[in-house]
Amino acid sequence: MSFINPQPYDRNIDVATSVDQIPSNFPALPEPWQAVVSKFVSSQQPVLQWAWSNIDASRHFQKTLLVLTNQNLMAFAGSPESPQISQWPLSQIENLTTSDRAGLGTLEAQSTDRRLAIWHYTLDLGPAILLLIEAFQMASLGRKSISLEEPVLAPEAESTTTPPTTKALWRLARFARPHAAAIAAGFLLSFLAMIAGLIPPYLTVPLLDDILIPYQTAATLSRETGQPIPPAVDFSMSLAGMYLAGLLLAAMAAWILGWLQGALLARVSERIAADLRNASYAHLQRLSLEYFGGKRTGDLMSRVSTDSDRLCQFLSDGVVDFAADCFLIVGTAVVLFWIDPWLAMVSLIPFPLVIWLMYVSRDRLQSGFQKGGRAWAHMTSVLADTIPGIRVVKAFAQETREIQRFEQANREVLSANDKVNRVWTFFWPMIIFLNQLGVLVVWGYGIYRVHEQMITVGVLTAFLAYIARFYGRLESMSRMVNSSQRAAASAHRIFEILDRVSSVPEPAQPVPLKDFKGEIELKSIGFRYGNRKVLDGVNLKIAAGEMIGLVGQTGAGKSTLINLVCRFFDVAEGAIYADGTDIRSFRVEDWRKNVGIVLQDPFLFFGTIAENIAYGKPGASRDEIIEAARAARAHEFILQLPDGYDSLVGERGQSLSGGERQRISIARALLINPRLLILDEATSAVDTETERQIQEALQNLVKGRTTIAIAHRLSTLRRANRIVVLDHGRLVESGTHEELLKLHGGHYARLVEAQQALTKDIGW
């Protein structure tokens, strides 16, 4: 039974007319699943193709059997004894696409407007996935006599898993769930504030019709006739006072409820935004190195900080106002129709046009804010590139060039904002005009109704107050189009991070890593970047405590092999074993805690020297830190600094020399006492004397510890137990320094001769 390559098609099958005649055993399914799948297929619905995916949505290893028939795409997860089955009619699937990124493939089923399902797989399963896609294309398009002579290539376009922009706002709901009670209380307060806000206009009706107008009419007639004429109703200051008190109480209630609602929802929105920032940053930490290789630092900083801040503003202000607007618009409309249905219908004539304008402007603003977000991220990236490299900028006198580069990025931001403003300044005044037109219609038709004695002046006055509130809230909701689309664009950019799947998944059932002895074995491993093969069929066994030197020309695959051992990437072919267990079976964190690595380019964080040495072991004592520094030959120069181990190293350690940074990096790796030590050009940044000191320290440190070392100067690897030579991704030689030198014309011998000749030519 093969898990990788299912049976290929007959090249001359006529899918459109002869699919029912395909034999029921074509292609052969994995034996344990045949009984389960047989319940869902028949001679009228035969199996066209199948494939495995082996990574679930949570980035854990979990096999899922994908089965394609002429009618459905089915997914069988779990075990044959208790399967979890999902299926999608082919009529609903618009496209089936795949993409791969540094060791992890993605298969996505899409309808015309959304993603239906997504699966992930390691690249060794890629051939079967490609056959599945071609079978889908044949079945869905009805193509005849499809030839398989030409290779099937995965699309180069990156699969988009993030939904359309506006829908991204709805996805914030999962961050709101922990605050559901507070949000519900906030909306209840908003509803009560709306009711309180509807009371004052209603109280003006009896105040005008029953008190003020009759009294004023009687007074006017008395002046005209010269005779005292009593009002139609007795004027009562106490009654007027009651109405005024009611107006005051309603206003105070609306103010208090609005204040409570605003304070509560603002507090909640701040916490939702904080949770979103935490989730984004935490997810970034879990992503593999492959993701960061294709992203600019400034862009990621902009997403986590600027975009989350925009969302916070929207949630604290926009959502609160939107809730109040919705409640008041609906409540006001109900009151308007209750007071006078005919006048209400006439007053709402501009309403549909206002809604249409909001819809049209939303679509235009949406694309504008997306472009603006990208432009802003580009400008931030220019800053993130220039400031850390300011020494290079000044060394080459390129200040003017960098100023021009920033100004160009700033012009792109300005251009994107201008486009948004042109759209908004066109639609917004038109919406205001239509709102005012609605009030004008009420005045005109209301005067006619009063003249015909269909309504009273008090009713008209109340109606005008209500309609002013109605269209005022409609204007407020119109402004929400601007802020909501800006926030939606930010949410879209943040969810592009959260939707990204790490190419280094966690195992579904991790194996505990205890008492790691240090034995490493590489079995037929292969890896590629895109279509470029970097490692091919490498087999290597490293005994516990053995020191291995990796050599080879630039691009031979040395650093890639190191990255695979550290699980910065996962192998596309073969496997890497630690004490006989596939390292993909361990939790990533557990595995890396047993690996100490010193990189060619040492990176130090802003902080003290002690904090940088203890980075991998935050709880280390000062004695442990000093011991590691002594072993790395760093203790002496640290004591010469003004504050010793408490001296600040500056951003990226720029206050230290390259050799000093490298020794701090070595001490940091040694402090965690790893069973596996990896040295990637660990002495390349130090002078000859410092290198000698470090080599002396390493002689003691590698005892009892498995070590893999890459070195530019081959002489530093003479004491390695074995030297492994890589050439174009293949292991071509292996042996001690002396053994490999005896291979005249061999790869290692040629490298040594070339380096000796170079040293002699330049007078080293």
* CA–CA dist 572, 583 (Å, integer): 14
Higher pLDDT, 388 or 10: 388
Higher pLDDT, 210 or 680: 680
Indicate if the alpha-carbon torsion angle 603, 608, 613, 615 is positive or negative.
Answer: negative
DSSP 160: P
DSSP 302: I
Residue 699 has pLDDT above 50, yes or no: yes
Architecture of domain 546-551+587-723+730-762: 3-Layer(aba) Sandwich (3.40)
Q: Which residue type does 350 have?
A: P
Kindly report the length of the chain: 764
Biggest CA–CA distance in the chain, Å, is 136
Confidence band, pLDDT 50/70/90 cuts, at residue 553: confident
Q: Which of 169-183, 216-230, 255-269 has the lowest mean pLDDT?
A: 216-230
Query: Could you read off the pLDDT of 381-398 as tens digits, one per residue?
Result: 777 777 767 767 777 777
Closest listed residue to residue 192, CA positions, set 256, 283, 113: 256
Residue 361 has pLDDT above 60, yes or no: yes
pLDDT of residue 185: 86
CB 471 within 8 A of CB 227: no
Confidence band, pLDDT 50/70/90 cuts, at residue 530: low
Indicate if the alpha-carbon torsion angle 323, 325, 326, 327 is positive or negative.
Answer: positive
665's CB contacts (< 8 A; 6+ apart) are 598, 599, 602, 603, 604, 682
Closest listed residue to residue 27, CA positions, set 44, 52, 51: 51
* CA–CA dist 675, 542 (Å, integer): 13
At the top level of CATH, which class does the domain 173-498 belong to?
A: mainly alpha
* CA–CA dist 374, 684 (Å, integer): 38
Domain boundaries, the chain: 15-161, 173-498, 546-551+587-723+730-762
* Beta bridge partners of residue 370, listed in sequence order: none
CB 200 within 8 A of CB 250: yes
Kind of pairing between the strands at 573-578 and 520-529: antiparallel
Query: Could you read off the pLDDT of 716-747 as tens digits, one per residue?
Result: 777 788 989 888 888 988 888 888 888 877 88
* CA–CA dist 325, 194 (Å, integer): 9
Higher pLDDT, 122 or 14: 122
Query: Could you read off the pLDDT of 155-208 as tens digits, one per residue?
Result: 333 333 434 445 667 777 777 788 888 888 887 887 788 778 777 777 777 766
* CA–CA dist 314, 335 (Å, integer): 30
Query: Could you read off the pLDDT of 575-609 as tens digits, one per residue?
Result: 899 988 898 888 888 888 888 888 777 788 888 88
| Both tokens assigned to 77 | 């997860």
The strand order across the sheet containing 722-727 reads 595-598, 676-680, 706-710, 547-551, 722-727, 730-735
* CA–CA dist 339, 456 (Å, integer): 11
State what percent of residues in the chain have pLDDT above 90.
1
Q: Which of 64-68, 492-496, 760-764 has the lowest mean pLDDT?
A: 760-764
Query: Could you read off the pLDDT of 22-32 as tens digits, one per residue?
Result: 344 446 777 77
Architecture of domain 15-161: Roll (2.30)
Residue 574 has pLDDT above 70, yes or no: yes
Q: What distance, in Å, lies between the first and last C-alpha atoms of the chain?
A: 60
pLDDT of residue 539: 92
Higher pLDDT, 432 or 763: 432
Q: What is the DSSP string of 278-297?
A: HHHHHHHHHS-HHHHHTS-H
3-class DSSP state of 86? strand
pLDDT of residue 577: 92
| 233, burial (CB in 10 Å: exposed 0-12, middle 13-18, buried 19+) | middle
Distance of CA 673 to the CA centre of its chain: 34
Closest listed residue to residue 749, CA positions, set 730, 719, 723: 723
Closest listed residue to residue 682, CA positions, set 660, 671, 666: 666
Higher pLDDT, 527 or 396: 527
pLDDT of residue 3: 33
Q: Which residue type does 156 have?
A: E
Span 701-708, mean pLDDT? 79
Q: What is the residue-averaged pLDDT of the chain?
A: 75
CB 339 within 8 A of CB 347: no
* CA–CA dist 703, 108 (Å, integer): 49
| Both tokens assigned to 205 | 């009706």
Kind of pairing between the strands at 547-551 and 722-727: parallel
CB 234 within 8 A of CB 271: no
Buried b (16+ CB within 10 A) or exposed e, 294-328: ebbebbbebbbebbbebbbebbbbbbbbbbbbbbb
CB 470 within 8 A of CB 333: yes
* 3-state helix/strand/coil string of 336-398: HHHHCHHHHHHHCCCHHHHHHHHHHHHHHHHHHHHHHHHHHHHHHHHHHHHCCCHHHHHHCCC
Q: Which of 25-29, 113-117, 120-124, 351-355 has the lowest mean pLDDT?
A: 25-29
663's CB contacts (< 8 A; 6+ apart) are 629, 632, 633, 634, 637, 686, 690, 694
Residue 8 has pLDDT above 50, yes or no: no
pLDDT of residue 167: 67
Q: How many CA atoms lie within 13 A of 312 on its CB side?
A: 16
DSSP 715: G
Count of C-beta atoms within a 10 Å radius of residue 205: 21
Q: What is the DSSP string of 3-72?
A: SS-PPPPPTT-BHHHHGGGS-TTSSPPPHHHHHHHHTT--SSS-EEEEEEEEE-TTSEEEEEEEEEESSE
* CA–CA dist 193, 29 (Å, integer): 64
Span 544-553, mean pLDDT? 87
Residue 12 has pLDDT above 50, yes or no: no
Higher pLDDT, 389 or 626: 626
136's CB contacts (< 8 A; 6+ apart) are 49, 68, 73, 90, 93, 96
